[in-house]
């Protein structure tokens, strides 16, 4: 089933190679199927070509965390917060800030 979705998305990408939604969907599908290299490729293309596509930053940061690249995760969360603030997307900003705080060990929950 997943390869069918990926195949369909790749066909959509042929029609419009710069469609941010298709790039995001492909990154997400590859991430879900544990094809980390391809997931990184598509998330990084999004960050480069569509820096205002705010949803990318959270998932790319989580992928960096998953692959033990904490410093890169922190950096991408910060960039995402800047992008979210620029779009006035305070919900995304809050999620990115929470992810940043968690990755940085700044959780303030009481035990």
**Which residue in 80, 106, 105, 103 sits closest to 93, CA to CA?**
80
Which tokens in the block code for residue 8?
């369909």
Q: Where are the domains of the chain?
A: 1-50, 51-111
**Distance between CA atoms of residues 36 and 64, nearest Å:** 10
Domains 1-50 and 51-111 belong to one CATH topology: yes
From the options 3.30.1370.60, 2.40.50.140, 1.25.40.10, 3.30.450.20, give the CATH code of 51-111. Answer: 1.25.40.10
- pLDDT per residue rounded down to tens, the chain (111 residues): 566 899 999 999 999 999 999 999 999 999 999 999 999 999 999 999 999 999 999 999 999 999 999 999 999 999 999 999 999 999 999 999 999 999 999 876 554
Q: What angle do CA 19, 21, 25 make, to 5 degrees?
A: 120
**Distance between CA atoms of residues 101 and 31, nearest Å:** 23
pTM exceeds 0.85 = yes
């Amino acid at each position: 089933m997943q390869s069918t979705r990926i195949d369909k998305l790749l066909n959509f990408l042929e029609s419009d190679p710069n469609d941010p939604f298709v790039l995001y969907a492909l990154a997400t599908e590859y991430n879900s199927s544990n094809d980390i290299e391809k997931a990184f490729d598509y998330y990084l293309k999004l960050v480069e070509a569509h820096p205002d596509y705010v949803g990318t930053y959270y998932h790319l940061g989580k992928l960096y965390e998953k692959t033990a690249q904490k410093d890169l995760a922190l950096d991408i969360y910060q960039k995402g917060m800047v992008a979210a603030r620029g779009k006035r997307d305070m919900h995304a900003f809050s999620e990115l800030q929470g992810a940043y705080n968690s990755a940085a060990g700044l959780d303030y929950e009481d035990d």
